[in-house]
Amino acid sequence: MQNQEVLLQKQKDFKKAEEYFLRSSELNSSEGKDNLLKLQAQQKKLAVVEIPKELLGKWSLKGEVCKKTQKQWNGLIFTNKEYRIIRISDYNIGPDICIPQKVVGQFPKFTIAFNCKPVDDGPYEESPTFILEGDLLKVNSNRTTVWEKCSN
């Protein structure tokens, strides 16, 4: 969640800077024009990418029971702006918080590039493919894993 707050603050800062650079470029400042173009390119990199609505909600490994408390539940949570991977192990590892960077495809198949930050390690990148078949979700990143939609 902290990554999301930092991104939103940067977007506010960029908006203010964009106003100043736009004004200076309108006054025929070549430096203002250059800075405006650089800023706009940087903004595209920081754009908040929405996760497709079809994926939103909680998913559990097929055959597992969806639980209301995340501590007892092994699964995936998709919100509008992030993807959490809840991992249960002997060491209670998880969740990984993943911020979408790029979405390719449309229902029922999406490939999403994520920047993830697990609680037990440093950041990493991941680009899984999600294939929806009714209430089943196949996640293919090196192998196919099947998840079921949780009703709770």
Quote the CA–CA distance of 137 and 5 in Å, as a whole number.
Answer: 29
Q: Are residues 27 and 60 in the same domain?
A: no
Say if residue 41 is in the same domain as residue 65.
no
Q: Are residues 122 and 73 in the same domain?
A: yes
- State phi, psi for 118 to the nearest 5 degrees: -75, 155
Residues 40 and 57 in one domain: no
pLDDT, one tens digit for every residue, the chain (152 residues): 444 455 556 656 767 877 888 888 888 888 888 887 877 777 666 666 889 999 998 888 877 777 655 555 677 889 988 888 876 654 556 678 888 988 999 999 999 998 888 766 677 788 889 999 888 898 876 566 788 888 75
Cα–Cα distance list, 44 to 30, 33, 37, 81, 102 (Å): 22, 17, 11, 16, 11
Tell me: do 35 and 80 sit in the same domain.
Answer: no
**Residue 131 in 3-state DSSP?**
strand
Domain of 128?
53-149
Question: In total, how many domains does the chain have?
Answer: 2
pTM confidence score:
0.61
